[in-house]
Every structure is written in C-alpha cells, then in structure tokens.
Amino acid sequence: MKFSSFTIRIFAILFCVKQINCAEKNTKARYRKSFINPYPRFKAHYDKGDPGEPLFLTPLIADPKWTKEMIRNISRVNHKDFEDIESYSGYLTVDPNYNSNMFFWYFPSEEDPAYSPVVLWLQGGPGASSLFGLFAENGPFEFNEDGELGKRNYTWSKTHNLIYIDNPVGTGFSFTDHEEGYARNEKTVGHNLHEAVQQLYEIFEWSGNSDFWIAGESYAGKYVPALAYHIHKVQNSIDTRTIIPLKGMAIGNGLSDPIHQLQYGDYLYQLGLIDEHGLIEFNEAEKKGKDCIATHKMDCAFEVFDNLLNGDMTNGSLFHNLTGFNYYYNYLRTKEDNRTHALGTFLQSSTVRKAIHVGNMTFHDIDTINKVEIHLKEDIMDTVAPWISELLNTYIVCIYNGQLDIIVAYPLTRNYLQHLKYKDANLYKIATREVWRMEDGEIAGYAKHAGNLIEIMVRNAGHMAPADQPKWMYFLIDHLTHYKKFN
C-alpha cells in the first residue's frame, strides 16, 4: 500500500501529537502534591476587564530619576474595597539571569509605622501563596461566610509593618522565565528572599528601630529559618546592600526536621483514631521512612509520607484507609473546609489585579502541576534543624503549634525541639511549662521558655492557628515582637 506525501505528513503530525500527550501524561503521573496542602484549591484567571500592567520595581530602584517616594507612590494600592487601608504591592526581581520575580503586598502598621516592628509572613505548601495568610489568617481583610470582604478585628498590621511575599519563585503571582529559576533547596530560597527583603528596605526606608521578624507556618518551617540563616551568614559581607535588623522568627506547625517529626502512629493511637493493628502498620512505615532519611534517600522518604498520609500515589493513604478522614489539619474535622474559596473569585477580578499591580500575570495555584514542589522534591524530607540550632544562639525563636493538628502535630514538634543542639538545649529539657492565660483569665495555651527558645501550644487550634484563634495569635505575635511577657 502506498501513501501520498500529504497522508504521510498527517500521520507524522498525529504521531507527534500523541508523543506530546504521552509525555504530558507521564509528567502528570510523576507529579505528586506535598503532604502538607491545607490551602484552598482554586483557579485564578482574570475576567474580561482591563487588569493593567504588572509593576516591576527593581529597575526603578536603580534609576536615579526615581526617588524612593516616587516608587512608593506608584506602588500604592488603590481599590474601592481597600480605601481605608494603606498598602503597597508589586514585583521585585531577585534573579535577573532567569527573570525571577517575587510578588509582595505590604501593609504599614496602623499605629506607628515609623517604629513598629517589620514582620514578613511566608506561607507553606510548598507552592502556597501568602495571600492565603493575608485573607484567611492575619491580614487586615477577611471574607465572611457569604464571600463578602470585610476588615479583620485582630490583624497583625495593627501594630506591625506587615509584608506578604509569594515564595518561593513560581508560587502564587511570583514567577520565573526559566526552569533554572526555581529553587532546588533552601539555600536558594533564603538567597532569593534576602534579595527581595533588601529591596523592600530600600523602598520603604524602615528605620533601624524597626526590628525585623520572620513568621510563617507549615512548610515555611523550612523557609523561615532559610531566610534567617542567610541573613545571619551574609549580613556583614560586601555583597549586602542593606543591613536587616533581624531579631527573631516565629514558626507555626512547621515541618523543619522530618526525621524527628515522623511519629504519627503513637499520636493517632493515643487519640483513638487507630487501634493497635494500625499502630503496628504506622510504626513499620515510619521506621522505613527514617531509614530513608538517614541514608539521604529523600525520594524514598517522600513515598513513605505519601503512603502514610497523602495518598497521591496510592489508592488512599494508610491514614485515610484506617480512619476515614479526608482532612488532617484539625482532628475535630473530617473533611475540607471551603470557607476561603471566595479568594479565587476575588483574584479573578481585573480591578483587583490592576490595583495590586499584577496585570494579567498567571496565578500559580497549588492544585495544578506544582513546579515549585517538583523542583523542591529532594528538599521536602531534609532538615533545617542545624540552622535553627545556630540561630538560637543569637536570635529569639518562637515555635508555636495548634493543639488539634495532625499533619504537624504538637508532639512531633516537641520531639524535634528536644533533639536541637544549641547552648541552652539542656535548659529546654528541664524548663517549667506554664499556663498561658489571657487578661480575662481564659486559657489560651501553654508556654515554655529556655534561653532564646519559646515553645507554645495554642489551645483549640489546628494547623492554621491564626485562622482558628485570631485573638490569641495576635496577642502572641504582638507580645513576641514587643518583648512583653506572655503571663
């Protein structure tokens, strides 16, 4: 049988299309979500209106024709829903070689911006936008049950200069033009964040009296120490343009030291969510996971976590199969909470996009192919405990944990803290645990102090403590950054 040249070309095109589709399917088959993914899943495409143009501030910083006041004015957010709240946003280039840019949104302190502490909030994921923290946890805005935007009563911006950055590059509105621009490890994460923070200090000219604090939750248990450690190491180098007055950090329900946080079996057994047979299964899997980490087989360790809890690569995780739970961020709930889905609709608005200076840039949501996580897959089960140990010798480190979390449960956090090697490690092991009460006498949690380490358990809170207990968490961050006693 003979084919015409036209027919042959058609076969060739169809073959190529098939190969591309197969390759795409293989990529999706290899893709796995992180075992820490408490964030709302949404698609954020702008509507048919005019979203304006994205605002890149880095070239303006280097241009002598642009004063700092002019840069601040052009980055001011103007929108009818935000009229009463002063804020600024835009893009900061952190790696010009790959055109890697990070999106920020900054809210000056409502009380005394000239002298208030500067707090940077980082979300986890990896690959979760810090806009979740802004609208669902501690920013000046929140959505009610009807999806309407209103003001939050206990916003951290009341007494802090509060910054949100979509981190790492490729998260949320942050982006890069090259695969090489994605972070493969926490050293790159720390470097890129430091570049962004230095530029923010140049633009907003915070005084040396405004202490700098880094806060975050979940997988930011890696990001927060990464930035703090990078600042600690390079602060006095000749490449540092701006001195950052780092004072400390706060990590909530953070994955920081997986080898010492892989202890789910005993915890779930004590909660009554699994029986002795389930405990044996968990213990066997956890031993395998720890062996993988000890031999630096991080992909193997990730598979163990996937089989235990996430179930992305298996027909349901062991946790789901034994408990029936589809939710592991608060053991009082068995399924996902959809309260924050209004954020997706909000980000589709061209008027909002124009106001926050992102234009028609893609919003990378965590439910699509998460390139941030794919490039960090060898990092997920690695540790930053040595960095935290070194930082504890110089800076204040607050580790808080919601009582009701499963994925990064309080006993798991305490176990890794007990293994930290720093100058006051023995003090932590013998320190007295105190009841943390609010002024009205209500018990908010329990606190333990040892040198620069403050460990807090937040009562009646899950994985996202600021969302579950906003009043108590505002009290916590305000007392921490203003050096007030908790009791």
Highest mean pLDDT (candidates 197-201, 314-318, 365-369): 197-201
pLDDT in tens, 85-129: 999 999 999 999 999 999 999 999 999 899 999 999 999 989 999
pLDDT (average), residues 381-409: 97
pLDDT of the residue at 312: 59
Q: Of 129, 194, 463, 468, which residue is the catalytic one?
A: 463
Q: For residues 75 and 93, give the distance between their C-alpha atoms in angstroms, rounded to a whole number.
A: 15
Quickly tell me which residue has 């840039």 as its tokens.
361
The encoded tokens of residue 382 equal 């690695």
pLDDT of the residue at 14: 42
pLDDT of the residue at 183: 97
Q: For residues 145 and 339, give the distance between their C-alpha atoms in angstroms, rounded to a whole number.
A: 7
pLDDT of the residue at 315: 67
pLDDT of the residue at 16: 43
Q: For residues 375 and 386, give the distance between their C-alpha atoms in angstroms, rounded to a whole number.
A: 22
Residues 6+ apart with CB under 8 A from 204: 68, 72, 88, 106, 161
Quickly tell me which residue has 């959505």 as its tokens.
143
The residue among 44, 169, 191 whose CA lies nearest residue 103 is: 169
Catalytic status, residue 232: no
Q: For residues 265 and 279, give the distance between their C-alpha atoms in angstroms, rounded to a whole number.
A: 5
pLDDT of the residue at 65: 97
Task: State how far Cα 406 lies from the chain centre.
Answer: 17
The encoded tokens of residue 444 equal 């908010």
Average per-residue pLDDT in the chain?
89
pLDDT in tens, 12-47: 434 443 443 444 444 444 444 444 455 655 555 667
pLDDT in tens, 240-249: 788 899 999 9
pLDDT (average), residues 383-395: 97
Q: For residues 402 and 413, give the distance between their C-alpha atoms in angstroms, rounded to a whole number.
A: 10
The pTM is what?
0.91
Characterize the bridge pairing of strands 453-458 and 396-402: parallel
Share of the chain above pLDDT 90, in %: 73
Q: State the Cα angle at 482 between 478 and 487, rounded to 5°.
A: 70
Half-sphere exposure of 274 (CA within 13 A, CB side): 22
The CA radius of gyration of the chain, in Å to the nearest whole number, is: 23
Bond from prior residue into 168 cis (ω within 30 degrees of 0): yes
Q: For residues 190 and 379, give the distance between their C-alpha atoms in angstroms, rounded to a whole number.
A: 13
Q: For residues 311 and 204, give the distance between their C-alpha atoms in angstroms, rounded to a whole number.
A: 45
Residues 6+ apart with CB under 8 A from 155: 110, 138, 139, 140, 162, 474
Contact 169, 182 (CB under 8 A): yes
Contact 353, 51 (CB under 8 A): yes
Catalytic status, residue 463: yes
Q: Of 218, 260, 379, 382, which residue is the catalytic one?
A: 218
Confidence label for 54 from pLDDT (cuts 50, 70 and 90): very high
- What secondary structure letter does DSSP report for 187? H
Q: For residues 485 and 487, give the distance between their C-alpha atoms in angstroms, rounded to a whole number.
A: 6
pLDDT in tens, 415-426: 999 999 999 999
The residue among 140, 142, 54 whose CA lies nearest residue 90 is: 54
Q: Of 306, 365, 405, 468, which residue is the catalytic one?
A: 405
Write the DSSP assignment of 252-286 as a string of letters. Answer: ES----HHHH--HHHHHHHHTSS-HHHHHHHHHHH
pLDDT of the residue at 344: 80
Model confidence at 83: pLDDT above 90: no
pLDDT of the residue at 76: 98
How many other β-carbons are positioned within 10 Å of the β-carbon of residue 270? 11
Confidence label for 379 from pLDDT (cuts 50, 70 and 90): very high
Model confidence at 145: pLDDT above 70: yes
Q: For residues 99 and 59, give the distance between their C-alpha atoms in angstroms, rounded to a whole number.
A: 12
pLDDT in tens, 269-301: 999 999 999 999 999 999 999 999 999 999 999
pLDDT of the residue at 109: 97
Model confidence at 389: pLDDT above 80: yes
Q: What is the 3-state secondary structure (H, E, C) of 286-352?
A: HHHHHHHHHCCCHHHHHHHHHHHHHCCCCCCCHHHHHHCCCCCCCCCCCCCCCHHHHHHHHHHCHHH
pLDDT of the residue at 438: 94
**13 in helix, strand or coil?**
helix
